[in-house]
């Protein structure tokens, strides 16, 4: 493997969706009128978003040797994304069963499977690829000990460490959160982190309407160097600590880009993956450039149905919005 600039340690999930008129009742079998399967998992989605910015990206995850694993490996190969898979024989590749009714409501059952059994030793054995990279990106869909090991190895080699704290894990220790140099929670995740680590009771529904100075003060309460809160259709907010990463201000907000959003699933993944790539592409330039680019790519991802396949390519983002 040549030295990738970004390493992503995360989850792979084979999403399977059945589209039905109404949800079946207990014991009932009903006919689906459409079926779709595709790659998912926050880690893999973010890796695809990152690789599509033409930034060499490597993915580390866990699979079983099954049909879904073959699908994952083929998809990654087509994206030109080298992977280091821990192949387990005692845990299935993670799958999710999504039933969508005519009202576009969904019911999801997820088997976390191999994602929650990524061995610490396996992650540590990837030190060569982590050591050669500039940035590590993780999420919280794997077992925490493996993710903590990734942060530790990356920290030792001086990488920028980005954590998308999703979903917020009940056992997440504060020192692990602070082991990241940048975190990218959405409104719900930010509120949960505030509740868990700062004892603050903040309604996620009101977050985006709060004054910038107030959001900044709340973010600073977490003790993480840089906090980027994604605000869905209301854009995003950046809060830096002492290191402004080349920005003119310690905090600022970016409005959403105007797009025709039809499916916002995976928008957060598009944002974190593209931000990570942007920090490499726009290295040495203000942090804001990478955030502007991520805000645009994430907005574009909402115009296409699906998660990983909906990630915008670098050239497409530049063609649509210009240089950030
Ligand atoms: P998550 O998928 O984790 O809940 P968000 O919903 O906060 O993430 O969306 C992530 C980012 O995607 C936002 O910060 C924004 O950049 C972009 N985005 C999401 N929805 C829209 C939208 N309707 N219009 C424009 N941009 C959007």
Which homologous superfamily does the CATH classification assign to the domain defined by 6-24+31-321? Ribokinase (3.40.1190.20)
What is the spatial distance between Cα 150 and Cα 78, in angstroms, rounded to a whole number?
Answer: 26
Q: Which two tokens stand for residue 145?
A: 């000990």
User: How remote is the CA of residue 67 from the centroid of ligand 1, in Å?
Assistant: 32
232 lines ligand 1 (CB under 6 A): yes
Q: How far, rounded to the nearest angstrom, does the alpha carbon of residue 157 sit from its chain's CA centroid?
A: 22
Question: Comparing 23-32, 71-80, 96-105, 131-140, which segment has the lowest mean pLDDT?
Answer: 96-105
Task: Name the residue among 159, 188, 191, 163 with its Cα closest to residue 177.
Answer: 163
Contact 108, 98 (CB under 8 A): yes
Q: Write down the domain spans for the chain.
A: 6-24+31-321
User: How remote is the CA of residue 295 from the centroid of ligand 1, in Å?
Assistant: 8
303 lines ligand 1 (CB under 6 A): no
37 lines ligand 1 (CB under 6 A): no
Sheet holding 6-9, edge to edge: 83-88, 57-64, 6-9, 135-138, 160-163, 182-183, 226-230, 236-240, 251-254
Active site (catalytic) residues: 269
If one residue of 188, 205, 207, 230 were mutated to test the ligand 1 pocket, choosing by the most ligand atoms within 8 A of its CB, it would be 230
Residue 237 has pLDDT above 70, yes or no: yes
For the entire predicted model, the pTM comes to 0.96
Mean pLDDT of the chain: 96
Residue 178 has pLDDT above 70, yes or no: yes
What is the spatial distance between Cα 149 and Cα 155, in angstroms, rounded to a whole number?
Answer: 10
What is the spatial distance between Cα 309 and Cα 305, in angstroms, rounded to a whole number?
Answer: 8
**DSSP3 helix / strand / coil % (the chain, rounded to 5):** 40, 20, 40
Number of the ligand 1 atom closest to the C-alpha atom of 265: 2
pLDDT at position 265 is 87
Q: What is the DSSP-derived secondary structure letter of residue 3? A: -
Residue 24 has pLDDT above 90, yes or no: yes
User: How remote is the CA of residue 282 from the centroid of ligand 1, in Å?
Assistant: 22
Q: For the chain, how far is it from start to end, CA to CA, in angstroms?
A: 31
236 lines ligand 1 (CB under 6 A): yes
Residue 307 Cα distances to 42, 49, 202, 241, angstroms = 9, 9, 29, 32
User: How remote is the CA of residue 30 from the centroid of ligand 1, in Å?
Assistant: 34
* Cis geometry, peptide bond prior to residue 167 (ω within 30 degrees of 0): yes
Confidence of residue 26 (pLDDT cuts 50, 70, 90): very high
User: How remote is the CA of residue 75 from the centroid of ligand 1, in Å?
Assistant: 25
Q: Which two tokens stand for residue 190?
A: 């930010």
Residue 223 has pLDDT above 80, yes or no: yes
Closest protein CA for atom 14 of ligand 1? 230
User: How remote is the CA of residue 230 from the centroid of ligand 1, in Å?
Assistant: 6
pLDDT at position 305 is 84
Q: What are phi and psi of 321, to 5 degrees?
A: -115, -10
298 lines ligand 1 (CB under 6 A): yes
If one residue of 227, 231, 232 were mutated to test the ligand 1 pocket, choosing by the most ligand atoms within 8 A of its CB, it would be 232
Q: Which two tokens stand for residue 175?
A: 């020192």
**Residues paired with residue 61 on neighbouring β-strands, in sequence order:** 85
What is the spatial distance between Cα 114 and Cα 73, in angstroms, rounded to a whole number?
Answer: 15
Confidence of residue 2 (pLDDT cuts 50, 70, 90): low
Q: What are phi and psi of 272, to 5 degrees?
A: -65, -40
Closest protein CA for atom 6 of ligand 1? 232
24 lines ligand 1 (CB under 6 A): no
């Amino acid at each position: 493997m040549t030295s990738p600039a970004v390493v992503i340690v995360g989850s792979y999930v084979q999403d399977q969706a059945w589209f039905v008129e109404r949800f079946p009742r207990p014991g009932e079998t009903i006919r689906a009128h459409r079926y779709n399967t595709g790659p998912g998992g926050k880690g893999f989605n973010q890796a695809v978003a990152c690789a599509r910015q033409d930034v060499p990206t490597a993915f580390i995850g866990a699979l079983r040797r099954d049909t879904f694993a073959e699908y994952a490996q083929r998809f990654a190969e087509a994206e030109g994304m080298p992977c280091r898979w821990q192949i387990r024989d005692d845990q299935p590749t993670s799958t999710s069963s999504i039933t969508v009714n005519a009202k576009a409501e969904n019911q999801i059952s997820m088997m976390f499977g191999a994602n929650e059994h990524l061995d610490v030793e396996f992650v540590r054995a990837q030190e060569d690829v982590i050591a050669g990279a500039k940035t590590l990106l993780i999420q919280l869909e794997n077992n925490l000990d493996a993710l903590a090991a990734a942060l530790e190895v990356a920290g030792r080699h001086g990488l920028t460490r980005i954590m998308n704290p999703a979903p917020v894990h009940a056992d997440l220790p504060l020192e692990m959160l602070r082991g990241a140099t940048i975190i990218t929670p959405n409104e719900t995740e930010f509120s949960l982190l505030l509740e868990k680590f700062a004892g603050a009771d903040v309604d996620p529904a009101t977050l985006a309407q709060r004054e910038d100075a107030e959001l900044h003060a709340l973010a600073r309460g977490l003790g993480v160097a840089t906090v980027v809160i994604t605000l869905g259709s209301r854009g995003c907010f950046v809060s830096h600590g002492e290191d402004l990463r080349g920005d003119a201000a310690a905090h600022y907000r970016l409005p959403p880009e105007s797009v025709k959003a039809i499916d916002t699933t995976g928008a957060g993944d598009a944002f974190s993956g593209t931000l990570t790539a942007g920090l490499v592409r726009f290295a040495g330039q203000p942090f804001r450039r990478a955030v502007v680019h991520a805000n645009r790519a994430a907005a574009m991802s909402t115009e296409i149905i699906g998660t990983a396949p909906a990630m915008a390519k670098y050239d497409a983002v530049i063609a649509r919005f210009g240089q950030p």
